[in-house]
Every structure is written in structure tokens, then in C-alpha cells.
Amino acid sequence: MILADKLIELRKKNGWSQEELAEKLGVSRQSISKWEGAQSVPDMKRILTLSEIFGVSTDVLLKDELDLSEAAPDYHSDEYHPVEETSRMVTMEEASDFLSYKNLSSARVSLGVMLCILSPVLLIILEGMQETGKLNVASNYTVALGLVVLFALIGTAVALFVTTGLKGSRFEYLEKELLETAYGVSGMVNERKERYRQGHTIQLTTGIVLCVVAVIPSLITEILLPENLLGEAISAGVLLISVAIGVFLIVRSSIIWGGFQILLEEGDYNREAKVENKKNSALATIYWCLVTAVYLAWSFITMDWGWTWIVWPVAGVLFGLVTAVAKVLRDKG
């Protein structure tokens, strides 16, 4: 086993991300990534520090013929953590298949979310035209057409979610179980992650900006065209289109990036987080079902689709608070 794979395995067994290990060593995260990708080798000073941090000898780290199973860990070291015996091995083929699935699912799921956000646009604009006399068609026809398009788009989105979920069911264990990667897997994932890093940053930033500036047309309409129903309808449609594109970029990029983090057990998918996520899975299901019910009920009662979408970002922020409270209650129990 080469040094790169030993560093990855030891880091994971301690439940640290690359950022956390970099902080302990006083180096950049990019340095850790290069060491684990076998693109460079730490100097002797760092090797000695790594030996102390992980509680193994320098011989075990540097000699390829020695595996970690032959290490003599310092059981008295404050930094030592026992090796988990329940980890599941991920082969190169499984990792490649999973990343390919993540690319596919990112396109399908983000498209489905975008369709859900866009679904009421036609209904909003038709109603605005109807109320201002710009459309000489009976009101029930315009509402019927708008609702047909709305439910057609939502139905398409649901089909995308269901088929994508079924296709990825064989990879569910990657998000829930502790992982060990076969030789070369982590290096391959790290390399692809670094290639995608800039694209991820650009898409995420663009998506957030589009969501933030989406309210500008509505504000302008309120100022320049007060009580203009058609103007309000069009600005609401523009708002939803901008939000839809922004969310599409955010969801797509986040799913692809999440695939890298899952395989590397970093970020929200580190070992400690996986244990906590198992406890929160039932809570998350109930919570998001309630949020969906509130969104649909509020939207259909008020028919103010241009603003009811605010439920989702608010729910996203509150979910962190809900899980934190649940954790406190579990700990007290």
C-alpha cells in the first residue's frame, strides 16, 4: 500500500476531512489533496507529524510493503482512534459507476426541481391578461389551460424524481455506511473533484445571484407600475424563471459535488455525520413532507405562486435548527 492510500485510510478512520487534517498539520487543503492523489509527497517534518497524529510509525507510512494492519499504534495517544470493523469496500468500478450516476441524476433532479418552480408561470400570466382584458377568452378556459400545464410539468418532475431514485437505489449504502476504498479510488475521485472545483464554484455563485436578483422585476413593477395587474403577473413570471434557473444550477452542481464528498467521506458525508444522518432520516422525511403540504396548501389557497416559493429557503434554514434541537433532546434522553 502506497503512502497516498495510507493517508486516506488513516484520515477516514479518524473521521477527519481534508480541511481538518490540513489544519492539524498547518498546511493547505490542496497539499493534503495532492498527497492523497499521489501527486506529491510530504517532507520529512510532515511525515514525523503525521506519524504522531495517527499514532503509527514512520516505517509504516513510508514503506509500501507494510500495510496499516502491521502498524503498532500508540494506544495511549490522545489522537488514536480505533479502526472500525464495519466499513464497506468500494471498488474502482463501483466508484466510477456511482460518479456516472451522479452526473445523470444531477441533470434529471435539477430539471425536475426547475419544472416544479416553472409550473405556475403560464397560469399566472394568463390570469393577469384575463383580468386586464388583454385576453378575450372565458376565464374558466384560461384557468383550465394554466392548470393543465401546471400539473403536466409537476407530473413530469415527479416521474424524473422517481425514475432517478429507483436507478440510484443500489448506491444508497454509500451515503449510510462507513467506507473503505480500493487502491487508486481516492486518487481518481480527488483528481476529478479538483477538475470540477472551478465549475462548481461558478455554477453555485451564478445560481445564488440569480435567486437574489429575481425579486428586482417585482420591486420595479411595484414602484413604476403600482396596481398594474398584468405588470405584476409578468414580473412574477420573470421572478419564477430566474429562481428556476438559479435553483437548477445550485442543485445540479451540488449533486455532482456531493458525489465526490460521499466517496471521500468529507463534508456532510464524513463518518460522524453519517451516524447522525441515520438518526435524522425519519425526521427529515416527515419534515419535508409537511413542508411540501404547507407549500401546496398556501399556493392553492392564495394562488400567489410568485411568493409562496419562499417556503423552500426558509424551510431549508429551519431544518438545521430542527435537527439540532432533535439532537439535544436525544442526548438528554
Residues 103 and 52 in one domain: no
Structural domain contains residue 84? no
Determine how β-strand 88-90 pairs with β-strand 179-181.
Answer: parallel
Structural domain contains residue 83? no
Residues 132 and 208 in one domain: yes
Please tell me which residue, 175 or 84, carries the higher pLDDT value.
175
Instruction: Give the total number of structural domains in the chain.
Output: 3
Mean pLDDT of 320-330: 71
Q: How far is CA 208 from CA 104, 201, 245, 278, 289, in A?
A: 22, 11, 10, 29, 25
Residues 309 and 208 in one domain: no
Secondary structure letter of residue 214 according to DSSP: T
Indicate whether 305 pLDDT > 90. no
Indicate whether 270 pLDDT > 90. no
Please tell me which residue, 280 or 244, carries the higher pLDDT value.
244
Residues 54 and 143 in one domain: no
Residues 26 and 142 in one domain: no
Cα 211 from Cα 157, distance rounded (Å): 20
Please tell me which residue, 112 or 57, carries the higher pLDDT value.
112
Structural domain harbouring 306: 270-333
Q: Provide the pLDDT for residue 184.
A: 80
Query: Strand pairing partners for 90?
Result: 181
Residues 62 and 154 in one domain: no
C-alpha grid cell for residue 1?
500500500
The H-or-E segment that residue 179 falls in is strand 179-181
pLDDT in tens, 154-187: 999 999 999 998 988 888 888 777 787 777 888 8
The H-or-E segment that residue 70 falls in is none
pLDDT in tens, 211-269: 999 888 888 888 887 777 778 888 888 988 999 999 999 999 999 999 998 888 887 77
C-alpha grid cell for residue 277?
444522518
Structural domain contains residue 202? yes
Please tell me which residue, 66 or 302, carries the higher pLDDT value.
302
Range of 6-10, 114-118, 180-184 with top mean pLDDT: 114-118
pLDDT in tens, 56-83: 877 777 776 666 665 544 433 444 444 4
Structural domain contains residue 303? yes
Cα 24 from Cα 199, distance rounded (Å): 29
Secondary structure letter of residue 183 according to DSSP: T
Interior angle at CA 252, CA 13 and CA 31, nearest 5: 40
CATH of residue 31's domain is: 1.10.260.40
Residues 285 and 143 in one domain: no
Cα 126 from Cα 130, distance rounded (Å): 6
Residues 133 and 166 in one domain: yes
Please tell me which residue, 278 or 215, carries the higher pLDDT value.
215
- Helix axis angle, 92-118 to 139-167, nearest 10°: 170
Q: Are 263 and 101 in contact (CB under 8 A)?
A: no
Structural domain contains residue 238? yes
Q: Provide the pLDDT for residue 247.
A: 92
Q: 70: which residues sit within 8 A by CB, 6+ positions away? A: 60
Structural domain contains residue 162? yes
Q: How far is CA 139 from CA 131, 143, 158, in A?
A: 9, 6, 28
Q: Provide the pLDDT for residue 221.
A: 82
C-alpha grid cell for residue 315?
424551510
Structural domain contains residue 78? no
Q: 31: which residues sit within 8 A by CB, 6+ positions away? A: 22, 25, 40, 42
Q: Are 240 and 121 in contact (CB under 8 A)?
A: yes
pLDDT in tens, 31-58: 888 888 878 888 888 888 888 888 787 7
Structural domain contains residue 86? no
Residues 110 and 38 in one domain: no
3-state helix, strand, coil split of the chain in percent (to 5) is 75, 0, 20
- Helix axis angle, 271-302 to 311-332, nearest 10°: 140
